[in-house]
Each structure stands twice: as structure tokens, then as C-alpha cells.
Amino acid sequence: MRLALDMETRDPDDVLTLCLMATHPAASLAAVTVNPGTPAQLGVVRTVLDRLGVQVPVGARIADGGADAVSPFHRHWLGATPPARPDGVAHEVLARVLTEDPDTVLLTGAPLHNLRLLLNNHPAVTVRRWVAQGGFAGDNLVPAADRLEKFAGSVTRESFNFGHDAKGALLALASERIGERRLVSKNVTHGVAWDQPLHGRIAAHPDLTAGARLAVEAMGVYLEERPEGKLLHDPLAAAAVLDPAAFRWVEVEVFRERGLWGARPQADTRTFITVGVEEERALDALLGGQRPGRRACWRPVL
């Protein structure tokens, strides 16, 4: 499976996804695009790819924009990474890899500026499969047994990746040039964390990929200061790329109401949102089939 990854660096889970997918046996990373794509951000991405021995084009939306957009965690883990320049403008990099192989899957873990610019600037390019970390499925969709207490009673909620470029999200959700949309929603991504027990099980496994080992290194640093763990927003979206059947899906129409996002059942939209997850199976997919032990290794965080 050929993959293009669109990411940011304000939250650690994007770089975990980069680590896990860069050397995954079932994925061939074709490009990384960064939002906004500052020299500091690109330095983090290049450092991770260099450590894994992976060479792919890296694109930026705004290579010289504003603040560095890198969280303190990245420097705590990687140290001072040298600033870097992009190989091209993000939407042009995406257009090139999607034209070279139209079956390339686009995985987005950032606000959707780069996807919006791709659709607006390259009218001949199609995206056959888009998997996004974003959106929200509420009580109107999620069975009672799968609801998280923190979202009980909600039909709409904020969604960072959709809300920070609402025009891009609405465009992508309506575009006829996107064949299938898979949204790994907040009600699922807030239910799974990489915590100390999970960290120990993964770290002890002898057959991890190089990327998984680097993710373990990163999370070892993270857990020193945040022992409660990290919610696995973007890594779960990556798991949905690798094994969609690990999730329960409903075909929907996504809507925005007073700045909040929700979804309602609707046929023939080619837009599917998560309403549940088989946690062990998703973890198995993410680690390349190297399951780190018993079923309790992924536990809900309420």
C-alpha cells in the first residue's frame, strides 16, 4: 500500500504515526507533507526519517511562516534538530505522488489546508481513498456500549483538524474527486492511550520494526513527564488505513453547526465515520502484526 502522510508537529501523536508508518511492512511511504511546514517542523521530520533511513519528498504549505510550530516534546526527545527546507510546495508534492500512482492513500492528521490546496489547484487529480483523523460521531450514531463518558449526551463536538480549516474540511467532504472518505473520529481516538502498561508490553517485544522501536524511544521520553500516557489520535487513523475492519463504521453525512461537527446516517455519501474499534486488532495492525501480548494491552481512558 502506497501512502502519503499529511501531518503537523504541535502534538506528539503525529510524529508517532510518522515513525510507525515509515517502516511498516504493509505500507510504502511515498511522501510527507507538513502543515504549515516551517524550517523547524521540517527539521523534526527530516531527523526522524534520517534516523530510520527513509528518503521521501517532504512538502510544506508555508515553508517560512510564523512561529516554529514544534511542541517542546520534540526537542526534549530529539534535541536541537537542524532547520530544513522542503522539497516542494505541499499540494504540488501530493499532486505528483497521486498522479504517479492514483491508488496512493492519503492519510491526514492535521488541519486540511494542504488537501484544500490540492483540490483547488490540481483539478485533474483524484484521491481514491482519504483517511482522516477528524470529525465526531455522537449519541445518534454510537451504540451505548461504545460511548465514552466524556462525550455522553453529545451529538456535536469540536474537531481540531476539521475546525482549523473548516473550508478545507467542507470542500473535501463534498468533493466528487475523492472516492472514499474514512473519518477516524474523536469518540474513538479519545478512548485509547499509549500508557505505561502498554509501553512496557511494546518495548519488550523482540520483533518490532525500526519505526516502532523509534516510537517506543519517543514515548519513553514522553511518559517521563506524562505517565498517564498519550491519546493515540493519529496512530489510530493509521491503523484504519492498514486494517479498516478493526473499526466499526457508519456511512454518514457530516455537518457543521455553530462551529461544532457532527454526523448523521446517510447512504451513498462514500463517507464513513468510526463508531467503535477492536482495540487489540487495531494495535496488531499498527505494529505490523507484532502483537504485544494479552487483550488488556489497550484500555479505555474515560
The C-alpha angle with vertex 184 and arms to 72 and 87, in degrees rounded to 5, equals: 55
Pick the range with the lowest mean pLDDT from 55-69, 184-198, 226-240.
Answer: 55-69
Coil, strand or helix at 48: helix
Residues 241-299: tens digit of each pLDDT: 999 999 999 999 999 999 999 999 999 999 999 999 999 999 999 998 655 443 333 33
For residues 33 and 28, give the distance between their C-alpha atoms in angstroms, rounded to a whole number: 15
- Cβ burial 62-73 (10 Å sphere, 16+ → b, else e): bbeeeebbbbeb
Q: How confident is the model at residue 32 (pLDDT cuts 50, 70, 90)?
A: very high
The C-alpha angle with vertex 46 and arms to 43 and 48, in degrees rounded to 5, equals: 110
Model's pTM, two decimal places?
A: 0.95
Tell me what the pLDDT averaged over the chain comes to: 94
Residues 112-163: tens digit of each pLDDT: 999 999 999 999 999 999 999 999 999 999 999 999 999 999 999 999 999 9
Per the rule left: phi > 0, alpha: psi between -120 and 50, beta: everything else, 111 is beta
Gyration radius of the chain over CA positions: 18
**195, burial (CB in 10 Å: exposed 0-12, middle 13-18, buried 19+):** buried
Residues 57-93: tens digit of each pLDDT: 999 999 776 688 999 999 999 999 999 999 999 999 9
CA nearest neighbour of 61 among 30, 93, 29: 93
How are strands ordered across the β-sheet holding 127-133? 88-89, 58-60, 28-34, 2-7, 105-108, 127-133, 178-184, 271-277, 247-257, 260-265
The pLDDT of residue 299 is 33
